[in-house]
Structure 1
Amino acid sequence: MYRIKTLNKISSVGLDRLDRSRFQVGSDVKNEDGILVRSAPMHDYEFPDSLRAIARAGAGTNNIPIDRCSEHGIVVFNTPGANANAVKELVIAAMLVASRDILGGADWVQEQAHTPKVDVAAAVEKGKSAFAGPELYKKALGVIGLGAIGALVCNIALDLGMDVYGFDPFLSVDAALRLDRHVHVVKEVSELYRVSDYVTLHIPYTSDTKDFINAEAIAKMKGQVRVLNLARGGLVNDGDMIAALESGRVAKYVTDFPDDRITTVKNVIALPHLGASTPESEENCAVMAARQLQDYLINGNIKNSVNLPNVAQEWSGISRLCLIHKNVPAMLTQIMTTLSDDHINVENMTNKSKQDYAYTMVDVNTRLTEEAVEELRAIPNMIRVRVLNH
């Protein structure tokens, strides 16, 4: 029986994917094998020795201590693309409210309606010009990050009649195939800044992307640009954005990550982290997270991990070794030598690495003794050894 702890409310549609004859699931589970989480902070979470995997029902993993997980041999999954449609739709809404003062206009109408002796219809006709703004049609949109969300944003913006520019230094073949051929993919982000009336961010938050939008970046943008950040708060430097808003270089800034500093600034539209807040998105994320967690715990397969490589292998033996280790020379030689010395025949083997860490999956044609497993654990730079039986 695998024990799965939930740290947030996870959609029942996802939890129902976990066979209750094999999984115990709940927020009060102890000595958990796996964790399902959304936004709960985990940087101070004490990992039990039993913990093997964490599945984040969402794309961002900055609430999870990735480095510490890697050091303990804990696989961290996310669910890229599961909330892409929800975010795409919010981007369109964000561009509209950043262009035409829809929110301010709606609030103003309510004020008129609640003011004694005001003829609302007459007031609206007289005052509506204060809330006018430009159309999206034939404007240029710059999309930074062309993954699952960015590609959808590009394609729907084309449908709206916009001229679309995309930038992604790590553009994959799969991502490129998702893009409409009319998207202008540029090699330098400065090219995108130079032409875009709107700039929207769809990149992960890392040490390299912190303050991606800063004074230097804004200086390269067109005047009166409208900037949208529905990705991660730390991607935009608040101080530099405030200065740009005050000078008028940025006309509007829409953020899904309000804080005490940025929220009350003029021409900031602050949303309450609505990006993936749809029932459809929450269900999609929960289903993907649960499936990935289940496949890893039962079969050892890894898909959509942020700290270990994708590895999947059909069963071809009696027992399966799942080995997480440092990505250093001679590890495979030591693993194979240890098995050979114990007269264990290998049926199939897959090895892949991701930066400092590697994952080796070995199918063997016999049940493994505890002595053999301990010998594998004793190999220098071995982090975790797990045995699955078919």
Structure 2
Amino acid sequence: MAPRVLVSDKLSETAVQIFRDRGIDVDFMPEVGKDKEKLLEIIGNYDGLAIRSATKVTEKLIEAADRLKVVGRAGIGVDNVDIPAASRRGIIVMNTPFGNSITTAEHAIAMIFAVARQLPEAHASTSAGKWEKSKFMGVEITGKTLGLIGCGNIGSIVAQRAIGLKMNVIAYDPFLSPERATELGVEKVELDDLFARADFISLHTPLTDKTRNIIDAAAIAKMKDGVRIINCARGGLIREADLVEALKSGKVAGAGIDVFETEPATKNDLFHLPNVVCTPHLGASTMEAQENVAIHIAEQMSDYLLKGAVANAINMPSITAEEAPRLKPFVKLAEVLGAFVGQVTESAIKEVEILYDGITADMNTKALTSAALAGLIRPQVSDVNMVSAPVMVKERGIIVSEVKRDKSGVFDGYIKLTVKTANNTRSVAGTVFSDGKPRFIQIKGINLDAEIGRHMVYTTNNDAPGIIGLLGTTFGKHGVNIANFQLGRNRPGGDAIALLYVDEPVSETVLDEVRAFPEILSAKPLVFDV
């Protein structure tokens, strides 16, 4: 059955047609996003939800979305999506961080000009028949210092444009490397240094707990007298009441505000100040940007629903359409390795180490790790996938680490999962053969070559004669057919293991009979999604 997508906000018809051309069943209902009850009623029918800012993807909506696999936000901001709730349900949340970057950056530059030269007020005065030339004394931007709070996709474009206008650009961004700063031609500084030096400050950072109210009365007190502040990023980055007071006192000479703490902003104290330019969240509002983000989200959602490719996801490692086919069997391998340990481990897991050897070290290991974690905790939390697993593991305080190394054995590449509990350490390794099927190659440090089937039995035993006959006779007596049987040991007479691939689940009655033999130390039934 073809995937089904709901478009609940106003999106370009071109984007809707992309869904149809890719063979996806799409319902274009651009007004339903504003109707919470109606959306709640129908959301259970869809695999994908394409939105802009009007639709609020709440925890309540997510709980009702039984089929939902992906939410696609046409634009960069995902404030209207409950990402933790989506992640716990295994729903991928995508956005389009590049589609409106130029448009938003250009709006910020326009705001700098408008605030520097008081253009809206001068226009209103002149249109009213006044000629108040001396009233609107502006400032040049040439030679002035622009301080960027955030220098990512949009901030870097603003930097390039501002340098072209002969401004000196400094930037505060914890993720900006010195090499990237040099490449852009900006000076990386600390936040207090930026406040002290900047003539203009422009915000280009997401709204998080750390950035909320990043500009407040205390921050403004550190700034130059007569500073001008621009916000085309997110409402809530500036404490508006503090900015109003600073604008009234003259500490802040002007402000260009495109985003507000509460939107739609129909009433706001900033509106009544003569040294403020306000626009109604127009940063991404150009024909080109709206077309771009709509097309991008339709393509990204289609690629995921049809091919498993993940692009620009907020809560999931990206998987390109090109690497998805090559990665798929190793994702399955990682999941199986996790599932093995998860089913044989009874005490609380404290640490997980995943070793990527050979060709696997060059793969998308974030995706592989997510798959391994999903397999690991599925025995305890059945409703888990690659999206929700890392969240659940983190909530449980489990430490996860990755190790990568060049080829070190006979296999071109393999994955080894080691799990530490309060009582012991377990490890399992596997690889993918040319047939694309995952295989176990080592368990508890014991080498073997075991095909993986849906139903299996894992035993640990003392290395002694007759184990094969003992297991075969017991299973045969109860009508259990063995499709494949693999043994391994660490040394003659030492520790040994057996993996039996069987045609159907083995009852506890049969397993208890096996466990009763003194040579058998443990016997576990296993189920794998293969």
TM-score range, shorter chain: 0.7 to 0.9
CA distance 1:319–1:48, change in 2 (3 Å): farther
Asked whether the 8 Å contact 1:351–1:360 carries over to 2, the reply is no
* Worse-matched range after superposition: 36-45 or 211-220: 36-45
The higher-RCO structure (CA 8 Å, 6+ apart) is 1
Query: What is residue 49 of structure 2 aligned with on the other side?
Result: 35
Partner of 2:270: 263
> Would the alpha carbon gap of residues 98 and 318 (structure 1) be closer, same or farther in structure 2, given more than 3 Å must change?
closer
What is the CA deviation profile of residues 104-160 of structure 1, one whole-angstrom value per residue up to 9, with x for unaligned ones? 111111111xxxxxxxxxx53xx2121120011111100111111000000110000
Match of 2:99 among 46, 57, 82: 82
- Measured in 2, the distance between the counterparts of 1:314 and 1:379 equals 26
Please give the residue correspondences for 1:158-177 in structure 2 after superposition, counting only pairs within 5 Å. Answer: 158-171=163-176, 177=180
> What is the one-letter code of the residue matched to 1:283?
E
In the TM superposition, residue 215 of structure 1 has moved relative to its aligned partner by 1.4
Q: Who is 1:241 aligned against? A: 243
Give yes or no for the alignment of 1:54 onto 2:71.
Answer: yes
Cα distance in 1, alignment partners of residues 87 and 199 from structure 2: 41
What corresponds to 2:281 in structure 1? 273
Give 1:353 deviation, angstroms: 6.7
Alpha-carbon contact 2:339-2:372 (below 8 Å) kept: no
Q: Partner of 2:254 in structure 1?
A: 252
CA contact (8 A) 2:231 2:256 kept: yes
Match of 1:155 among 157, 160, 169: 160
TM-aligned CA deviation for residue 170 of structure 1: 1.7
Aligned to 1:360: 371
Give 1:321 deviation, angstroms.
6.5
Residue 385 of structure 1 and its aligned partner are, at CA, apart by 4.8
Match of 1:45 in 2: 61
Matched residue type, 1:184: E
Instruction: Output the CA distance in 2 between the equivalents of 1:376 and 1:217.
Output: 46
SS of residue paired to 1:235? coil
Q: Which residue of 2 aligns with 1:120?
A: none
Gaps of 5+ in 1: 113-122, 324-329, 340-346, 363-372
- AA partner of residue 6 (structure 1): V
Aligned to 1:11: 12
Aligned to 1:365: none
C-alpha spacing 1:189/1:383, structure 2 compared with 1 (3 Å): farther
CA contact (8 A) 2:156 2:184 kept: no
The alpha carbon displacement at 1:235 in A equals 0.6
**Contact kept? 1:143, 1:199, Cα under 8 Å:** yes
Q: Distance in 2 between matches of 1:247 and 1:385?
A: 54
C-alpha displacement of 1:382: 5.4
Does the C-alpha gap of structure 1 residues 382 and 237 become closer, same or farther in structure 2, counting only changes over 3 Å? Answer: farther
Q: Which residue matches 1:335?
A: 339
TM-score by length of 2: 0.59
Q: Which amino acid aligns with 1:275?
A: G
Tell me the amino acid that sits aligned with residue 185 of structure 1. Answer: K
Aligned length: 345
Aligned partners of 1:170 and 1:205: how far apart in 2?
15
Name which of structure 1's ranges 19-28 and 205-214 shifts more when overlaid on structure 2. 19-28
> What is the aligned-residue RMSD (CA, Å)?
3.2
- Percent identity among equivalent residues? 33
* CA-to-aligned-CA distance 1:277-322 (integer Å, 9 cap, x gap): 0010011111221122112212222221112222343314997968
- SS of 1:170's partner is coil
* Structure 1 residues 77-128: Cα deviation after superposition (integer angstroms, max 9, x where no partner): 111121011011111110111111211111111111xxxxxxxxxx53xx21
Q: CA deviation at 1:178?
A: 8.1
Sort the Cα spacing of 1:220 and 1:382 in 2 relative to 1 into closer, same or farther, 3 A: farther
SS of the residue 2:19 aligns to: coil
TM-score norm. by structure 1 comes to 0.79
Unaligned runs of 5+ in 2: 30-41, 344-358, 387-530
Instruction: For residue 380 of structure 2, give the secondary structure of its aligned residue in structure 1.
Output: coil
Matched residues in 2 for 1:319 and 1:197: separation? Answer: 55
